[in-house]
A = this chain, B = another copy of it.
């Protein structure tokens, strides 16, 4: 299931290059996985392929979006309007996947009132008021670690049901709130592991394959 976004990125690139139909073989080689895996993955969502021909790329993207719950708009609130917060607010990937930046928060008076991508930055203390104006589904925390727990509490109080935390800080939230962590240095750490073992002692043992790169080991429920 975590591979679905990978397929999507490939499908979109294929669409841009004019390809309209794609085989599991082609998708697999682009994603560097087994073709049977692609078919199994896609078959979990339904039967969208045409035997003998392959899959219709545009239709498949739609179906994957539906499977991922991306066939509706998710209002996102971002707390911490530093470089990372701005990068996320601008991100094409957000807009393209139906994530709408509904609110921006920062406690720095110098930033409050500033417009980023057409959205005015407000103070976290206004959160409950903002939530009254429009529903907020997902909270993204890009504040310093010291501010993370407080803003998480405020988000929960405002009815946010899931939080994505980029701050290097473990958070406490009620069990019904979905919480995931992202650490931008994790991929580098994985690279470090590979690099040191590739160039290092050389072929003394089996090299484990690292698939996941998340900080979020916990399934909800």
Among the listed stretches A47-55, A87-95, A128-136, which one makes contact with chain B, having 4 or more residues with CB under 8 Å of it?
A: A87-95
CA distance A97 to B216 in the complex (A): 19
Q: Which residues in chain A, 115-141, are within 8 Å of chain B measured between CB atoms?
A: 137-138, 140
Among the listed stretches A18-26, A106-114, A150-158, A179-187, which one makes contact with chain B, having 4 or more residues with CB under 8 Å of it?
A: A179-187
Using CB atoms, name the residue of chain B closest to A180. Answer: B187
Give the chain B neighbours of A70 by CB distance below 8 A: 189, 192
Q: Report yes or no: B193 in contact with A68, Cβ–Cβ below 8 A.
A: yes
Using CB atoms, name the residue of chain B closest to A209. Answer: B219
Q: Report yes or no: B194 in contact with A178, Cβ–Cβ below 8 A.
A: yes
Q: How large is the interface on A (under 10, 10 to 19, 20 to 34, 35 or more residues)?
A: 35 or more
Query: A3 on the interface (CB 8 Å rule)?
Result: yes
Q: Which of B99, B191, B209, B213 contacts A213 (CB 8 A)?
A: B213
A-B contact pairs, 12 of them (CB 8 A): A1-B193, A2-B186, A5-B215, A9-B168, A9-B183, A82-B87, A93-B184, A94-B185, A94-B188, A97-B185, A178-B195, A182-B184
- List residues of A whose CB falls within 8 A of some B CB: 1-6, 9-10, 13, 30-33, 67-70, 72, 74, 76, 82-84, 86-88, 90-94, 96-99, 137-138, 140, 161-162, 164, 168-170, 178, 180, 182-200, 207-221
Q: A32-B217, A84-B84, A91-B185 are in contact. List 12 more A-B contacts (CB 8 A).
A: A1-B193, A1-B210, A5-B189, A31-B217, A33-B217, A68-B192, A68-B193, A83-B83, A84-B87, A94-B185, A162-B191, A162-B195
